[in-house]
Structure 1
Amino acid sequence: MKIGILSKRTGFITGKLKNYFENDGHEVKIYTKENLCINSSLFENDLYILKSKSLFFQYAGLYIEKHGIPVIPNLEITRRHKNRIEADLLIKEAGLLSPEFYYGTVEAIKKSLDETKFPLILKPLSGSGSKGVRIINSANDLKESNSQVIYLQKFIEGIHLNVYFIGNEICALEKPPMSNEHVEMQLLPLNEDIKEIISNWVDTHNILFGHLDIIREKSTNRLYVIDPGSFPVFDNWKCGGDPVDKIGRIILEKYYEITNYHKF
């Protein structure tokens, strides 16, 4: 089988997946911005893997899928992961808690907020990781122009969790506040309430793998889903086995299910 991977980079988990599929007997090509041209040449592959949430790669995935070639993970769910407003709706559709947020111009937000609402977290509307994220302790901390549209999320004091899932396997870790996926994390016991959150998330949206950033609120012990991730690099997987092998296997199983293809 011929597999294409749509990715910003050729290294990290993308390169490892390429090696996994090649070792399984498949022909693999990685498409980055340097070599991706959206046209009929993309029809040469049997399957595409959408590693990046960037719009350019989403457009490529949409074009490919509309011409009958499977794209994994699901394009629509991946698209909704990218935007924090839509991601919040995904969280609520799964019956999960998420922090209150404010989205509007600086001027409008200042008029609608009183000091009791602070602190808040300023985040980019799109993207992932910790880039551009900072704590806003009062309206005076908003240095952006009054006409600039910004996204603010309620600050939840508590333990920050990064919870990976691949199929039925779940790996819960504690991480420093407002850090990205690549920092060192501490493995945590897998509590039933975390299992329930992942189960609801996976079942509602039919997701094969990913991660959720969660905060366990100090004052109430409630779990708030802060950010979902559609295709993390699984740097901190500490729950046995190679996550690349697990992801590669589950992608192939999904492809065989979609196409009614029988490997043996």
Structure 2
Amino acid sequence: MKIGILSKRNKMFAAKIKRYLESEGHIVELYTLENLNINQSLLKNDFYILKSKHMFFLYAGYFLDGNKIPVIPNVNLSYRHKNRIEAHYLIKHAGLLGPNVYMGMVEVLKAKLKKSDYPLIQKPLMGSGSRGVRLITSSEDLTTAGGPIYLEKYIQGIHYLSYFIDDKVCVYEKLPLSNEHSQVKAIEMTQDLIDTTLQWKNHYNMLFGHLDIVRDEKTNKLYVVDPGSFPEFSNWNCSVDPVKEVCQLILNEYVK
């Protein structure tokens, strides 16, 4: 088959899946910002792997989807992972707990928020992971370059990185506000962490992904604070090879 990969990078996990698919006899082309041109020439491939949620690659995904070329993972679901408001409601619609959210102009939020609402997390409206994320401890920390800002209640507790590939779940303890590539601590997975992860995975029929989860130190409840549609699996250290498993799931999804 002819397969395209839409990725910000031509290395890391994207390069690994390219090598694996080529070793299986497929013709694979990797599209980055340096060579991606959204036009009819993209229709030469049988299907595409959407590795990046960067808006340009999402636009390419929508173009392909509109031209009946399969894109894996689903373009619209990937976009909803990237949009913080959409992601918040994805969490709610899956029947999981998420942090309280606040959105508005800085001066309005400064006037309306109570001291008890702090600490908060300020996040870019479009994005995922820890890029551009700030801890807000008081109204003096609130800043903007213009326009409304998006805030979430900061949940005090233990922070987890939870990967899933099919029904295989791998959970680690991590530092608050750290990204997927940061150092993690191996833990003994509890059933509620596994159940939360699989509830998310099954509700949206996802092949793989990850969640940032926090266990509230006061209530012991689990809150999903950030979902990811296509992680790098940088800290995956479970029984299966993530590259092989992810590629096989994608190939099986295409031939359905």
TM-score bucket of the superposed structures, by smaller chain: over 0.9
State the Cα distance separating 1:59 from its structure 2 match.
1.3
CA distance in 1, matches of 2:57, 2:236: 26
Match of 2:215 in 1: 216
In angstroms, what is the RMSD of aligned CA positions? 1.1
2:78 is aligned with 1:86: no
Cα deviation, 1:142-198, whole Å, max 9, x if unaligned, reads 2446x5421111011100000000001000000111101101111222211112212
**Could you tell me the TM-score, scaled by structure 1's length?**
0.94
State the Cα distance separating 1:221 from its structure 2 match.
0.6
CA distance in 1, matches of 2:57, 2:255: 23
State the Cα distance separating 1:5 from its structure 2 match.
0.2
State the Cα distance separating 1:233 from its structure 2 match.
0.1
Identical-residue share of aligned pairs (%): 52
Q: How does 1:161-172 map to 2 (within 5 A)?
A: 161-172=160-171
State the Cα distance separating 1:96 from its structure 2 match.
0.2
Q: How many equivalent residue pairs?
A: 256
**Could you tell me the TM-score, scaled by structure 2's length?**
0.97
CA distance in 1, matches of 2:225, 2:96: 10
Match of 1:12 in 2: 12
- The amino acid that maps onto 1:72 is I
Match of 1:23 in 2: 23
Q: How does 1:95-114 map to 2 (within 5 A)?
A: 95-114=95-114
State the Cα distance separating 1:240 from its structure 2 match.
1.7
- The amino acid that maps onto 1:184 is Q
CA distance in 1, matches of 2:132, 2:51: 22
Contact 1:187/1:238, CA 8 A, preserved across alignment: no
Match of 1:153 in 2: 152
Q: How does 1:239-258 map to 2 (within 5 A)?
A: 239-257=238-256
Match of 2:37 in 1: 37
Give 3-state SS (helix, strand or coil) of 2:255's partner. helix
Give 3-state SS (helix, strand or coil) of 2:116's partner. helix
Match of 1:260 in 2: none
Contact 2:81/2:128, CA 8 A, preserved across alignment: no
CA distance in 2, matches of 1:44, 1:148: 41
CA distance in 1, matches of 2:144, 2:247: 43
Give 3-state SS (helix, strand or coil) of 1:202's partner. helix
2:21 is aligned with 1:53: no
CA distance in 2, matches of 1:130, 1:91: 18
The runs of 5 or more residues in structure 2 that have no matched partner are: none
- The amino acid that maps onto 2:27 is E
State the Cα distance separating 1:129 from its structure 2 match.
2.5
CA distance in 1, matches of 2:66, 2:38: 12
State the Cα distance separating 1:131 from its structure 2 match.
2.1
- The amino acid that maps onto 1:151 is Y
Contact 1:5/1:51, CA 8 A, preserved across alignment: yes
